[in-house]
Amino acid sequence: MDTTQKIILTGDRSTGPLHLGHYVGSLANRVALQNSAKQYIIIADMQALTDNVENPQKVHDNVLEVALDYLAVGIDPAKSTIFIQSLIPQIAELTMFYLNLVSVNRLQRNPTVKTEIAQKGFGETVSAGFLMYPVHQAADITIVKANTVPVGEDQLPVIEQTNEIVRAFNRIYGCNVLVEAQAVIAQVSRLPGIDGSAKMSKSLGNAISLSASADAVVKQVMLMYTDPQHIHVADPGRIEGNTVFTYLDIFGTDTERIAQMKEHYQRGGLGDVVVKKYLIEVLNAFLDPIRMRRAEFAQDRAYVKQLLLDGSAATYAVAERTMREVKEAMHLIYT
């Protein structure tokens, strides 16, 4: 069995622009790990249709935008293979096999799915495609035999379900074709939204995208949740649960200045606007090189598209080998 470390970054189903939460949740790990392992990065256009079934053009158009975001943050196509999910039909085929190994009740109990169903208000109207997307993600991971997956903490149930499927398949068919995956959790696995909610999310409208302009960052930070009891500048303020200080702790590099601001804020006399203006400086300093790289790649979209096609062709070959082994184990080879 191949013991090479293989890493896959599973795709965001909405396929829209990547945001700061994606970066701290998995992308930062991905950029660091690409120097030491074989990496695959999926652009999950098929899974994006679970949210955008009536707007396929949006999904199509965003594929290239997501690729630009990956390249902008430092993903190197010479080290990582970026591919488009729908160009790997073996993923859908493997998903079909896996669905026989998972009960509907198990899918409904998946904490990640339950949370998203509640957030989107689906209730009884939830589609079968949405309900089973963790199985599709299991196929994403196992089609390339990935043994490492950088994820945010909220995606741990998906990795757990993937490994349940792997164990069931190998047990039922008496083989060791599939490998279990280990989750790699970022130091900051979940970034709160600008509204103070537990998670930054495009669908909740509380995200700062990696491609956000400097002016957009100003507008979003000025809306950011702080301490609702800190009404007057002279009032002592709380830093616990204060989104502005949470972001400063993550993205700020001048720890001494941040510590001084925290102390000043807590004793009173430091206004929210002053702290927000400093966070704006910090975030724009962080995003400036990302914006520059993105603009450079965006000048040659044909090149970026070809990178995706080449990466998809390379992944297709790997997926074919995996499916051959899967079908042999299932006695589905007829030639």
Rounded to an integer, the average pLDDT of 275-297 is 97
Q: Quick one: pLDDT at residue 36?
A: 86
**Structural domains of the chain ordered from first start:** 6-191+300-329 (3.40.50.620), 214-293 (1.10.240.10)
Q: What is the mean pLDDT of the chain?
A: 90
Angle at 182 between CA 178 and CA 187, to 5 degrees: 160
Q: Quick one: pLDDT at residue 252?
A: 95
- pLDDT over 50 (residue 290): yes
Q: What pTM does this model have?
A: 0.88
Q: Quick one: pLDDT at residue 5?
A: 67
CA distance 161 to 135: 8
Portion of the chain with pLDDT greater than 70, in percent: 95
- pLDDT over 50 (residue 149): yes
CA distance 275 to 258: 9
- Do 142 and 112 meet the contact criterion of CB atoms below 8 Å apart? no
DSSP lists the bridge partners of residue 185 as 151
Give the confidence band of 287 by pLDDT, cuts at 50, 70, 90.
very high
Rounded to an integer, the average pLDDT of 121-150 is 88
Query: How does pLDDT run across 27-62, given as a tens digit for each residue?
Result: 787 888 888 888 999 999 998 887 788 888 988 999
Give the confidence band of 13 by pLDDT, cuts at 50, 70, 90.
low
Give the confidence band of 308 by pLDDT, cuts at 50, 70, 90.
very high
Q: Quick one: pLDDT at residue 1?
A: 45
Q: Quick one: pLDDT at residue 201?
A: 78
Give the confidence band of 79 by pLDDT, cuts at 50, 70, 90.
very high
**Is the model more confident about 48 or about 323?**
323
**Is the model more confident about 110 or about 254?**
254
CA 33 from centroid of its chain's CA atoms = 15
Q: Quick one: pLDDT at residue 3?
A: 45
Give the confidence band of 121 by pLDDT, cuts at 50, 70, 90.
confident
